[in-house]
Amino acid sequence: MEPVLKVQNLGMNFGGLRALDDLDLDVDKNEIVALIGPNGAGKTTFFNCITGIYPPTDGDVLIFTHGSDRPERINGIKPNRVTEKGLARTFQNIRLFPNMTVLENVMIGRHCRMHAGVLGAILRGKSTIKEEKKAVEDSYAILEKIGLAQFVDEFAKNLPYGAQRRLEIARAMATEPFLLLLDEPAAGMNPNETQELDELIKQIRDEEGISILLIEHDMKLVMSLSDRIFVVDYGKKIAQGTPEEVRNNPVVIKAYLGEEVDA
């Protein structure tokens, strides 16, 4: 398999606290990988280290961009540069732009693929108009794909909860990523919405050829979606494998349920 992301020996210290310790993880092309673990295990910290919000203390984050097999190290570069390189993420607690319309939210995702500067904006030449028009069209197309086209002119803050989660995914897709990082995409969704999300994520992988790395607590969703699962606890990787392997792994069961005590 052709890898797109390879994380080696990643470590992150917050003062004396070792939040991540010697973590390895890799995602292959067209693969859905899940990262699970109990609360506070360091999953979101892991995402933040990859996407440049925190610079990792040690280890390597390597990406393999389209077709090249020479890895590129992206530790510690700024979040916007990471996004430009093709990693897009969503947030655990929804972080949309509440007072912008749904379309504008997606158009922000297009920002890093556009070029008009201050002068271009003021003079509004042919290329700028063309670029703007294309951005509107592309964004609308993404909204249709995600199933939010009916909300296009609505303010993001007025959307129902499930739709807000989907809009975050749409906005991330607009940055043209090769790897989508989803931080608890199903949190707070009802079973129906979760089912739709399941289909949506598969559709993104199959139709767009985007690999997906997700953090999720909904085990039903994780088991149904993932090709491989990584389990972390206290910042360390405790298991990895297919859903079947992970489900029956005694270490994982111990981490989630605690040890059995003989009465």
Write out the residues near other proteins by the rule CB under 8 A: 51, 53, 78-80, 83-84, 88-89, 91, 95-101, 103-104, 107-109, 111-114, 116-118, 120-122, 124, 128, 131-133, 135-137, 140-141, 144, 152-153, 155, 171-172, 175
Q: Judged by CB, which is closer to other proteins: 108, or 219?
A: 108
Rounded to 10 deg, the angle between the 161-173 and 102-110 helix axes is 20
Q: Judged by CB, which is closer to other proteins: 132, or 193?
A: 132
Q: Which two tokens stand for residue 21?
A: 């310790």
Q: Which of 241, 207, 238, 237 is nearest to 222 (CA)?
A: 241
DSSP letter assigned to residue 249: -
The 3-state DSSP class for residue 207 equals helix
Shortest spacing between CB 219 and other proteins, in angstroms: 27
Q: Where are the beta strands (DSSP E) in the chain?
A: 3-14, 17-28, 32-36, 58-63, 72-73, 87-89, 179-183, 211-215, 228-233, 236-241
Q: Judged by CB, which is closer to other proteins: 188, or 191?
A: 188
Shortest spacing between CB 140 and other proteins, in angstroms: 5
CB atoms < 10 A from the CB of 20, how many? Answer: 29
Q: Which of 155, 158, 149, 208 is nearest to 178 (CA)?
A: 208
Report the length, in residues, of the chain: 263
DSSP letter assigned to residue 151: G
Q: Judged by CB, which is closer to other proteins: 110, or 228?
A: 110
The continuous run of DSSP H or E covering 140 comes out as helix 126-146
Shortest spacing between CB 70 and other proteins, in angstroms: 23
Shortest spacing between CB 21 and other proteins, in angstroms: 25
Q: Which two tokens stand for residue 151?
A: 């909300």
Shortest spacing between CB 91 and other proteins, in angstroms: 7
Shortest spacing between CB 114 and other proteins, in angstroms: 5
